[in-house]
Amino acid sequence: MFTGIIEATGKVEKLETESGNLHITVSSPISHELKIDQSISHNGVCLTVVACNAQQHTVTAIAETLRKTNLGELNIGDIVNLERCMVLNSRLDGHIVQGHVDQTAKCINIVEENGSWIFQFEYEPSPQNLVVEKGSVCINGISLTAFDVLDDVFKVAIIPYTFEHTNMKYLSEESFVNIEFDIIGKYVARLREFEVKH
């Protein structure tokens, strides 16, 4: 379980394919604090540490994860957002994030606006994948508030701190990001679906 508050960014140092899986080696300022079998979010995807040392750690993304996320598009040198799982005695500063990406979305517009940035994303709508006005959405692991929500697009505002300390600053129009929709919204949608059937 995560909060969507990014701890650090990491740099992709090595990519290795093995039987449909992708081993991703990342250098980061928190790699030395990790241990094998620990869960850590990479661009919003919960992955397990399989190797680590003082400067780097390695995680493995399976074929299903590569199909649903942007991790398969990573290149050496790319920057990823990192967050370790939450601890129960700390504040929940973002929102409840599982690290289970629902789909990717395409950035279709970026506007700089008086010191902040407005990003607009287009996604594939479905009854389960809900974005509501002023509701929470997780983009590349970042807990954000959606606005100007339509059927298949929404916007988020990025403050300077978030812009500088995440990989949002590397996005351009046509970039694909990982999206995790709000878990509460998904449960409400599932409950409504169940009620209609019964």
The pLDDT profile of the chain, 198 residues, written as one tens digit per residue, is 898 999 999 999 999 999 999 999 999 999 999 999 999 999 999 999 999 999 999 999 999 999 999 999 999 999 999 999 988 777 777 788 999 999 999 999 999 998 899 999 999 988 778 898 999 999 999 999 999 999 899 999 999 999 999 999 999 999 999 999 988 887 887 787 777 776
- Domains of the chain, each with CATH number or no CATH: 8-84 (2.40.30.20), 103-197 (2.40.30.20)
| Entry field: residues in the chain | 198
d(CA 43, CA 185): 21
Q: Tokens in use for 20?
A: 């449909």
